Structure formats: structure tokens, C-alpha cells
Structure 1
Amino acid sequence: MTTDVLIEHRRKIANLEERIKNRRLQVIGLYGTPIAVVFTLLVWAALKISVWLHSDTPSAIDDTFGSVAFFLGVAAVAQAIAEFNRFWRDPKTPVRELRLELSLVEERHILDARRHTPPPMDRQASYKERLPGEMARLRRESRHYRRMHLAMQWMLFVGSAAISAVTAWYDPPQPAKGILIGLGFLVTVITAAAGYFKPRERAFNLQQTADSIEQHATALELGIAPYNDAEQSRNLELFATTVEGLRAEQRMREQQLDQPQQGQQQVI
């Protein structure tokens, strides 16, 4: 019964988190789409006044802006109808109200979990069963940062090569000047972003932590050192302590990457 109660709480929490996410997207679309319509019309009018004031606007420009404005207008009307006719799941419900409901459900979950706390060995065993999801998360984030690093590197390669190629190809200042300015700006931004976010280091740290956790999980599963004690409770306790130490080290490395270079040297 305790397990069923806790599972029901987790189901309610997941349901409320999904509802909050959907409601936030609904509110963004409900108020953002009319703003996008007005912005599109203003840009269209500004182009007409500044570029084609004394001539006809090209049909391609008119068709593009007209289609975008029409599509956004239809989307705005459809979202307004869905909001006021209660076609959505949580119409006319503020996001803060859903967040309050979520906090109350989480509080009830904590109270029930505290009231029916299982013994330490059961908690350690369940902790071991949750680790595959944690390792999958670490590897997923590691792949994300690795792909980000590779994309930045390829953009740097292409941008740097394009600057040299355009410089060698064009002798007159125009139109090469604008292209070179754009490519130089792109290379500068990517270099600064790569140095600030450090996706390569983040990918390496996440992958290293996932591999270390997997190594300890395999050692515990096979009953080899350091988890070869005759009492399983001691092995589980040592395993939980070791894994939490690895996760703490991972969080510390992330904090070091978020600090400036001078702050990193002081921490190290």
C-alpha cells in the first residue's frame, strides 16, 4: 500500500509538470501570436517606406509577408477560440495556480514518504535500481555537448576557410566586404561561445562520470572488489556512498566550468 501511494503521488507530480509545460506553451502562443502578427505588419510597412516608397514592392516580398501575416492571424484566432471555448485542458488557468497545486502534491508526497520510510537497505537497493536512468541522462547530456562542440568546430572551420576564399576571390571591396564582415562576426561569436560554454569539457566530464558509475554498478552486480563483502547491506552502503561522491565531483566540475578563468584557478 505504501508503494502504491508513493507511485500515485509521483504520477500526479508528473501529470502536473506536463500540464504546467503545456499551459505555458498555450499562454505563449495565445499572447505571442498576435504580437508576431503586429510585428510582421510593421516590418512589412517599414520595408515599404524605407526601400520601395516611390515604387512597387516586389510581388515575392508581398506574397511572403502576406502569407506569414495570414498564417499567424489564423493561428491567433484558433488559439483564442480554443482558450475561450475550453477546448484545451486547462483553459483560463494561470500557470501560478498549477505551480501551487504541484507544490502541494509534492508536499503531500514528502509527508507520506516520511511517514512510511522503508529501512536503509531497501532504500539503498532502490537507489541502485535508479542508477541506469541516471547513467542514461549523463550520457545523453554528454552526447549533446559533444555534438555542440563538433558543430561549433565545423562552423569555425568553414567560416575561417570562407574568409580566406572570399578574400582571395574578390578583388573589389563590394560585395566581398559585407560577406567578410558577416563571416568574421560568425567566427568571433562561435569562438567566444565555445570558450564560455566549454561544451567539449562538459561532454568529457559527463561521460567520465557515467563510465565510473557504470563500473561501480558492474562491480556490485558481480560481487567483486570493493563490493565483495559477505553482508550485502555493507556493499550497498559503500556503493551508495561512492556513487554520491562521484555525483558530487561532477557537480563541482560543472561549477568550475561556469566560473571565470581566474575563479577556476582559485578553486583549483
Structure 2
Amino acid sequence: MLWTALYWGDSTALVRGRWIFIPSLLVSAAFLIAMGIHQSDAKATAKRSPASMSMPERFTLSMAQVEERLEDLEEGVRILGASFSPSLSQRRNLYRESVSGVIEQYRAESLRYRRVHNSLQSLVMAGSAAVTTLAALEAKQWTWPTISMIALGFCVTIATAFTGYYKYRERSYFLQQTADAIEEEANALTLGVGEYLTQPEDQALAMFTQRVETLRNDQRRRQQQLDQPADHAPAPSQSPV
């Protein structure tokens, strides 16, 4: 419109187009200002965020570069370990701190293998009972007493197999026995009776800790004996009556 008014000398083109040109110009200016404000806010947020500073580096490094940096860090750790000779007490403390990780690893692996073994053993017992039940279904007249007898026999076989393998009664007995013994020690320490009567507070706590740990160790040994097969497991120190 401006070029038409200047080239052809028609000033009315400006008057006719002002109602379209001016609002369009204002909308475009507002849009550009809003985009500039948004980009400035985004840049300011990226500068304030530590995580955003590491994002480009994390995504631009290749796997080879990451492995190279890891090797450099491991080499630095080895050099630092060779140049620093800790004392005996420090080595013992470091070993004590590392033992907890080893214990958790062994317990996690033991739990995983126990779950797998128990699952397979349950499948074996259920499969054996199912095979026996299916064999009993041949050449039978289907009456309600026959069906009830077969179903009841299957349930009894499953219950007997699981009870004999997992030893629920023995586990319950030994757990309750250990809990009662620990409760007895805790009550004696709290009330100051028995062997805790004449002991100072620090020695009484040390004695209580030692006895509780002994009870817990005995419980763990009994638990391991119950987890062993029947032909290899030694007889527990005490058995439920």
C-alpha cells in the first residue's frame, strides 16, 4: 500500500489499508516481543539450573569418550591408592565399612536363589500330585462321591508335601522361642534384674547386645538347618513338642 501510494500518487490507498495494516503491525510487534521475553526467560533458567549445564555435555559425548574418561578416573584412583598408605586402624575401618555391602549382596543373592528353588520345588510337588490325581481319573464313574474323594485326595497330597518341605511348624516354633528370649533379656535390662542388677549401665548394655546377637545367630543357624534337605540337615538343638 505504501509503494502504491508513492508510485502512483494515490494517498487514498493508505487511508483504505490502514484498518488492516495497523492492527497487523501491532499484532506482529506483540508476537515478536512475547517471543523475545520467552527466549530470555528460558536462557536465564538454563543459566540458573546446574542440571541444564551438564545436559549438552552428557548428550554430546560418545560412548568411547565416556569410557576413556572412566578409565582416566580409575587410573587416578589407583594412583591415589598407591601413593597413600593408610594405617592399620584405617584399613580396619575401611574393611568394616565395606563388609555391609558384601553382606547385602550375599543376602540378596541368597534370597533370589531361595525363591527360584522354592518355586521349582512347589511346581514339582504340585505336578506330582496332579499326575497322581489324573491317573486316578481313568475308568471312573463320575458321581459326586468320586469327584469329592479325588479332589480331597489332591488337596491332602498338596498340603502334606508343602508342610513336609517348608516345615512351617518348626519355623514358627523357633521364631517364637527367639522372640521370647530377646523379650526376656530386654525386660531384664529395663528393670535391672537378674544378671543386669549389679552391672554398670555401659557393661549392662554390652552384655545385652552380646546376648541378643547370640540369640539371633542361633536363630539363623536353625533357619539354615531347616532350609537344608532332610538327608543332609543335622538335627536342630531343640525341636517343637
TM range (shorter): 0.3 to 0.5
TM-score scaled by structure 2? 0.38
Tell me which of the two structures has the higher relative contact order, counting C-alpha pairs closer than 8 angstroms and 6 or more residues apart.
1
